[in-house]
Amino acid sequence: MLSGFRALDLTNEKGFLCGKILAGLGADVIKIERPGGDPARNIGPFYHGIVDPERSLYWFSYNSSKRGITLNIEAEEGKQLFMKLVSQADFIIESSPPGYMDRLGLGYEELSKVNPKIIVTSITPFGQTGPYKCYEASDISIMAMSGLMSTTGDSNRPPLRLGLDMSYCLAGAHAAVGTMFALHHRQISGEGQHVDVSMYECLFVANYREPVMWEYEKRLMTRMGNRFSRGESSTQQVWQCKDGYVTWTLIDQPEMLKAIVECMDEEGMAGALKSVDWGAIHISRLSEQQTKQWEKLIAAFFLKHTKKELQQLSLQRNLTLSVINEVRDVAESEHLACRGYWRDLEHPELGTSITSPGFLFLSSETQSRERFRAPLIGEHNEQIYEKELCLSKQQIANLKNVNAI
Amino acid sequence: MNKLALDGLKVLDFGWVGAGPLATKDLADNGATVIKIESTKRLDLTRRSPPFKDGIIDANHAGFFVWTNSSKYSVTLNLHHPQGVNVAKRLVSWGDVVLENLGCGFMDRIGLSYEELKKIKLDIIMVSVSIMGRTGPYANFKGYGSSGAAQSGHAFLTGWTDRDPLLSPIAFSDAITPRIAVVATMAALQYKNRTGKGQYIDVSQVETMAQCLAPAFLNYFANGHEDTRIGNRSPCAAPHGVFPCKGEDNWCAIAVLNDLQWRSFCNVIGRPDLLENPKFMTIMDRKNNEDELEEAVEEWTGNRTREQVMTTLQGVGIPAGMVQDQKDLAMDPQLKHRQTSVKLQHPVIGLCGHAAPPMKFSKTPAQVRAAPCLGEHNYHVYTQLLGMSDEEFVSLQNSGVFD
């Protein structure tokens, strides 16, 4: 869908996903790393546990389908080479601290002189301006500030972070949106622009309705672990089953509640639930005691069955239950296999291929597939510098000498 | 008025609750004309859920709807009325993009499948968002945003090591997936520009989440290792966690990511002795003695406010962020500076908060407009955009087509 477009990707781990999304859509995304490789190559997990910049599964995950070159934009010669690349590019994606690119003379104003069509997407923790613009951030620290953590976790323990680096992924996804919007505008107007993405704001707007709960009712949601707040009481969301966990909750859907009670009754486990008229009650008006009584019966039923059984039952009888999948369950999912989700990406340097998520979405017309594995350090230096930019071997040797590439 | 990035783009929003409406909101805030198709007979969950302005339980007093649906037009249309679908088809012939996240098969059942839409407009772009996707053995799966976390493995990977998986009240896949749907829509428009062809796009919340969780899957496929919950710790950094500060339920997250930061950390908290302690020398050492390490950190944070902890550590370049709630965020100086929540005049509620896009465009700054009342734009859309005469409009209205 985006073949013919080229992106220069200067990001660190806080912005990888943006370029990966564009690359998966067919754009030629060139990952630019400093000579020696990006520090993010030290983030694990590692292939076979070998801590090595060419073995980082984290790097593989978020940089697939990108080509890779080394370039030192702080060196004068590196800067010039960068400008050459910019003149032939559509997008620049970068995640350096605010002011860094400007100080190098590579800010948006300068770059747009070289290429008025260039779209520069900057991803930073807090944005290019504002009192926190120079704050350092890590996934956990920015998630803490965003409001997302204050409602996540148990009441008797610290607030919890969501698994893996979700704030980086969210910022990357928003950055891809911004880049595409700027592209749309450019095709009508002919002009590029600067897109300033703030990870903090991406997280803040991901707060579901907590902001309006405060604005309208001055109510703050508190951490309730796996219980779901409901008016007078709360309902359980996560249940143990025979071989793991499922998620389900008492919700005002009389048809569904009738259905689950029927399922329980077929095994003689419905108990007091059998006589409840679900159309006549409101879950949010039940007492804590009543809710817990009913949940005890339901818990016993779930404990008797496996994840697979409960998922099947839910599909057949519309119970709105979901298995809580472990990594293995997802990897071996029949559903994802049918969808052709997983793709083996060749790693000739490792003598193997690694199965990876294969696409972002399905389409009737085009493919959004992962095409090849993440690049090795400087893997495409020759291809891009010699063949595409037509630099001579001597010029390349000189550039290496001054540590420009 | 400034130009906006998506001026001229025409979108029909058959979405409900989260994933669908958030996608079209991004488009609307940036200038697309987004018509939300609603019905008095089937109110969006966000129009029925608290909070309500002044406690008035009414479709137009619902704050959650406002927060999720800025800048859109709203029409009411009864899709179960025989003529309702005909009107919908007329809207399709006006539009460039149709986006929906309704139950599996719903669009097909009412006669608005992609095949049908193509007959009206050959190059229509239709984007469907669902938990599991529209094909495959689980295509019929009914769920909510947190099903995305459960199905994708994210819930299993969130929580304490010694406790159950945590299903966060934040349906995170409802945050990521709409943006992928938007990117898909924009890419499809690019494709249409080049080839003249539309397409049908099927976006699954589980599949987009799994992309974000890719390191866990690669770890499984390449190493046979099954990741599990690690609380607030990190496999490659220590100290890394959320630490108690002075006062009830006051916390600050701290991440010391490398040895340089460790040095700064020990010095600024007045504990240079920790630098000499062999238990904490390297990252591996610190991981091996993490309980003791965290006690030392807590000793320091426990005597300070969360603000002090955050500003002291930020002062020496260490990622530290205090845990904030909505009360804090309503006064947050950075969000204020960036105007991330903007107060707009809503016809019924009055001045109220609307979420702005989390990014700034230098040439086409977004313009957030107030969320619509139910059916607010019926007359405008049906007569001005679709060209109905007043007579036809009134006749259809009287027949209940616009219920």
Residue B136 at interface with chain A, using a CB cutoff of 8 Å: yes
Interface residue A252 vs chain B (CB under 8 A):
no
Q: Do B164 and A245 touch (CB under 8 A)?
A: yes
User: Which pair of tokens denotes residue B270?
Assistant: 């007045």
Q: What is the pLDDT of residue A285?
A: 84
Position B145 scores a pLDDT of 64
A201/B158 touch (CB, cutoff 8 Å), yes or no: no
Residue B72 makes CB contacts below 8 A (sequence gap 6+) with B13, B24, B25, B28, B34, B35, B36, B371, B372
Is the four-CA dihedral A248, A254, A256, A257 of positive or negative sign? positive
Question: What does the radius of gyration of chain B's CA atoms come to, in whole angstroms?
Answer: 25
B284 touches chain A (CB under 8 A): no
Catalytic site residue from B123, B164, B174, B227: B174
Q: What is the pLDDT of residues B91-108, one digit of tens each?
A: 999 999 999 999 889 999
Q: What is the 3-state secondary structure (H, E, C) of chain B?
A: CCCCCCCCCEEEEECCCCHHHHHHHHHHHCCCEEEEEECCCCCCHHHHCCCEHHHCCCHHHEHHHHHHCCCCEEEECCCCCCCHHHHHHHHHHHCCEEEECCCCCHHHHCCCCHHHHHHHCCCCEEEEEECCCCCCCCCCCCCCHHHHHHHHCCCCCCCCCCCCCCCCCCCCHHHHHHHHHHHHHHHHHHHHHHHCCCEEEEEEHHHHHHHHCHHHHHHHHHHCCCCCCCCCCECCECCEEEEECCCCCCEEEEECCCHHHHHHHHHHCCCCHHHHCHHHCCHHHHHHCHHHHHHHHHHHHCCCCHHHHHHHHHHCCCCEEECCCHHHHCCCHHHHHHCCEEEEEECCCEEEEEECCCEEECCCCCCCCCCCCCCCCHHHHHHHHCCCCHHHHHHHHHCCCCC
| Closest-CA distance of chain A to residue B274, Å | 23
pLDDT tens figures, B196-222: 999 999 999 999 999 999 999 999 999
A160 and B231 in contact by Cβ < 8 A?
yes
Which of B71, B168, B209 should we substitute to test contact with A (largest number of A Cβ atoms within 10 Å)? B168
CA distance B399 to chain A (A): 30
**CB A216 to CB B52 under 8 A?**
yes
User: pLDDT grade, residue A43 (50/70/90)?
Assistant: very high
In this prediction, residue A286 carries a pLDDT of 87
pLDDT, tens digit, 9 for 90 and up, residues A228-269: 876 667 899 999 999 999 999 998 889 999 999 999 999 999
The more confident residue out of B104 and B186 is B186
* Cα separation, B278 vs B237, whole angstroms: 17
pLDDT band at A171 (very low <50, low <70, confident <90, very high): very high
Nearest-CA distance B197 → chain A (Å) = 8
Tell me which DSSP letter residue A341 carries.
-
What are B359's strand-pairing partners?
A197
Residue B276 confidence (pLDDT): 96
Q: Are B337 and A131 an interchain contact pair (Cβ–Cβ within 8 Å)?
A: yes
| A392 lies within 8 A of chain B by CB | no
How much is the average pLDDT of B53-67?
A: 95
User: What span, in angstroms and rounded, lies between the C-alpha atoms of B98 and B140?
Assistant: 21
Q: Do the Cβ atoms of A265 and A276 come closer than 8 Å?
A: no
Q: Which residue of B has its CA nearest to A214?
A: B326
Nearest neighbour of B137 by CB, restricted to A47, A323, A334: A334
**Contact: B184, A363; criterion CB under 8 Å:** yes
Chain A touched by B201 (CB under 8 Å)? yes
Q: Which residue of B has its CA nearest to A183?
A: B5
The shortest C-alpha distance from B88 to chain A (Å) reads 22
pLDDT of residue A251: 86
Average pLDDT on A332-355 reads: 97
Residue B175 in contact with partner chain A when CB distance is under 8 A: yes
A133 has pLDDT over 90: yes
Longest dimension (CA), chain A: 87
Overall residue count recorded for chain A in this entry: 405
* CB interface of B with A, residues 214-273, below 8 Å: 214-223, 225-229, 231-232, 234-237, 240-244, 251-255, 257
Mean pLDDT of chain B: 95
Does the predicted model carry a pTM greater than 0.80? yes
Q: What is the pLDDT of residue A123?
A: 98
Tell me how many residue pairs between chain A and chain B have CB atoms under 8 A apart.
485
Using CA coordinates, name the residue in chain A closest to B341: A205
Q: Which pLDDT value is given to residue A247? A: 93
pLDDT band at residue B60 under the 50/70/90 scheme: very high
Interface confidence, given as ipTM, is: 0.97
B174 is catalytic: yes
Nearest CB to B64; choose among A144, A209, A355: A209
| Per-residue model confidence (pLDDT) at position B140 | 77
What's chain A's average pLDDT?
95
CA distance, residue A198 to nearest chain B CA (Å)? 6
Question: In Å, how far are A72, A261, A294, A305 from A278, measured between CA atoms?
Answer: 67, 10, 13, 24
| pLDDT given for residue A232 in this prediction | 66
Averaged pLDDT for residues A183-209: 96
- CB-CB under 8 Å, B358 with A185: no
Q: In this complex, do A225 and B67 lie within 8 Å of one another by their Cβ atoms?
A: no
pLDDT tens-digit series, residues A95-120: 999 999 999 999 999 999 999 999 99
> In B, which residues are within 8 Å of A335 by CB distance?
132, 136-138
- The 10s digit of each residue's pLDDT in B4-38 is 999 999 999 999 888 999 999 999 999 999 999 99
Interchain contact, A61 vs B218, CB within 8 Å = yes
CA distances from A189 to A59, A192, A228, B4 (A): 36, 8, 49, 11
Residue of chain B nearest A138, judged by CA positions:
B319
Partner-chain residue, chosen from B135, B156, B357, that has the shortest CB–CB distance to A324: B156
Q: What is the mean pLDDT of residues B299-321?
A: 98
For chain A, what percent of residues have pLDDT higher than 70? 99
Residue of chain A whose alpha carbon sits nearest to that of B159: A160
Between helix B19-29 and helix B173-195 the angle, nearest 10°, is 60
pLDDT at B142: 76
Whether B1 has a pLDDT exceeding 60, the answer reads no
Is pLDDT of A40 > 90? yes
Q: What does the pLDDT read at residue B161?
A: 96
pLDDT at A22 > cutoff 80: yes
CA distance to partner chain A, nearest, from residue B277 (Å)? 25
CB B118 within 8 A of CB B147: no
